[in-house]
Amino acid sequence: MIQFLKRIIKYITSTTVLVVLALLLTGCGTNRFEPHGWSGITLDNNKIFIGSGDGQLIILGAEGGNLIQTHPQNKENLHPIYSAPLLSNNGKTIFYGTYSKNDGGTIYSLQSGTLSPNWTKTFPGSIVGQPVLGNNLLIVSSSDGKLYAMEPETGTPKWVFQSDGKLWSSAALSEENSVFIGSLNKKFYAINLENGAKLWEFETDGAIVGTPLVNDSTVYFGTLNKTIHALDTKTGSEKWSRIGDHWYWAPLSLDNNVLYAGSMGGTVSALNLNTGLPLWEANVNGAILAPMLTLESLIVIATDEGQVTVLRKDSGLQTWDFPAGDSIRAKMANQGSRIYLITTEGEIKSLDAERGTSLWSRQRED
């Protein structure tokens, strides 16, 4: 897959960005890349929550991957899940969204203990990004270009913001009650969380698919034109920008005031938070689409070539790598030194972060 993308990206123009992005979700003409979802992993109370390519919510035990629950039991008329399930702050409610080119996307709200439905709501566009909670609102981004705010308990709409392009990323929230999100139409928005009014917008040089990162008075994001931007959260003025080696699909990570960026060229960069200047750079095998995972002294990178690589955060030196087999594009999770990941072919793996060894693996129940 990544070799196919590299050949296209070499000659890509801004007018063809949407075509290439669609290939990632809807396939490249073979069964291997049919739209079947690549839901990320959510961990809570020693349980793994994931979505399936058949549109089911699946709950596994974190210790050995044993199947605990699925929802719904009937797989008919369901659609793939691309984002990781979201748990409410009290852990009593699960939210997740689905992707469909023809039928739109649906948000499901379930009771976490019994998986009994609370409510469902269908939108004209598909749901790719994970919903987020803030200020007693559920914020949902959709490929119809709209950002929806709803009451988490009932799904009742509170406000809708219309952007100028498809929204694939999750929104990010600030302590000042602002919402930040980027579109495939190369625009980045700041929105009032209370009423959905636009605060400012910033025109970028490429489509945005990664979830923004907010830290203090700065919001950071990468684009599909090799650039990382750092903007003032209140005004939208640019503090700095940096051009990398390739597209930035994966969201940026932050740890101990160091910004970590992974590109589709396989470059991992540790950047100065205030200037964007590199502290170190390292190369891994394959494009980075999955969010990187930061541990105490390590950073975990999974690639579209199916390789898991662990680097030291202070130097970028490799400690180990592990061949996972198939592409990894979804959010990983960890519980202490245990890493959990899922491949695009639905294989769930648990790895020991310190030794780089496999603890267990199992196939998702598609």
Q: Over the stretch 338-361, which tens digit does the pLDDT of each residue have?
A: 999 999 988 999 999 999 999 999
Q: pLDDT at residue 13 above 50?
A: no
Q: pLDDT at residue 189 above 60?
A: yes
| Cβ pair 107, 126 in contact under 8 A | no
Q: pLDDT at residue 96 above 90?
A: yes
Q: CA torsion angle for 138, 214, 105, 164 (degrees, to 10)?
A: 110
Evaluate the omega torsion of the peptide bond into residue 278 and state whether it is cis, within 30 degrees of 0.
no
| Cβ pair 224, 215 in contact under 8 A | no
pTM exceeding 0.85: yes
CA 223 to chain centre: 14
Highest average pLDDT, of 11-20, 49-58, 179-188, comes from 179-188
Please state, in angstroms and rounded to a whole number, the distance separating the CA atoms of residues 262 and 272. Answer: 15
192-196, 230-234, 326-330: range with lowest mean pLDDT: 326-330
- Report the length, in residues, of the chain: 366
> E-strand spans in 248-365?
253-255, 258-262, 267-272, 278-283, 293-294, 298-302, 307-312, 318-323, 333-335, 338-342, 347-352, 357-363
pLDDT tier, 23 (very low <50, low <70, confident <90, very high otherwise): very low
* 278-283 and 267-272 beta bridge pairing: antiparallel
Q: What percent of the chain has pLDDT over 90?
A: 80
Q: CA torsion angle for 275, 281, 283, 288 (degrees, to 10)?
A: -30
Please state, in angstroms and rounded to a whole number, the distance separating the CA atoms of residues 301 and 129. Answer: 20
Q: Helices H, strands E: what count in the chain?
A: 2, 32
65 Rama class: left (phi>0) / alpha (psi -120 to 50) / beta = left
pLDDT at 12: 40
CB burial string 254-289: b at 16+ within 10 A, e below: eeeebbbbbbbbbbbbbbebeebeebbebebbbbbb
Which positions ≥6 away from 6 have C-beta within 8 Å?
A: none
Q: What is the mean pLDDT of the chain?
A: 89
5-19, 114-128, 170-184, 251-265: range with lowest mean pLDDT: 5-19
Q: pLDDT at residue 58 above 80?
A: yes
Among 120, 160, 156, smallest CA distance to 144 is for: 160
Q: pLDDT at residue 148 above 50?
A: yes
pLDDT tier, 186 (very low <50, low <70, confident <90, very high otherwise): very high
Angle between helices 2-9 and 17-26 (to 10 degrees): 170
Q: How many CB atoms lie within 10 A of CB 323?
A: 9
Please state, in angstroms and rounded to a whole number, the distance separating the CA atoms of residues 227 and 236. Answer: 16
pLDDT at 6: 43
Top pLDDT among 77 and 346 is at 346
pLDDT digits (tens, 9 = 90+) for 269-309: 999 999 999 999 999 999 999 999 999 999 999 999 999 99
| Cβ pair 309, 295 in contact under 8 A | no
Q: CA torsion angle for 189, 94, 102, 139 (degrees, to 10)?
A: -20
Please state, in angstroms and rounded to a whole number, the distance separating the CA atoms of residues 297 and 285. Answer: 21
pLDDT at 24: 52
How large is the average pLDDT for residues 231-245? 97
Q: pLDDT at residue 14 above 60?
A: no
pLDDT tier, 73 (very low <50, low <70, confident <90, very high otherwise): confident
| Cβ pair 340, 43 in contact under 8 A | yes
Q: pLDDT at residue 182 above 90?
A: yes
Among 167, 159, 86, smallest CA distance to 126 is for: 167
User: Cα separations (Å) of 80 from 98, 104, 105, 342, 362?
Assistant: 6, 11, 10, 15, 19
| Cβ pair 322, 335 in contact under 8 A | no
CATH of 244-366, picked from 3.40.50.1980, 1.10.3300.10, 2.40.128.630, 2.60.40.10, is 2.40.128.630
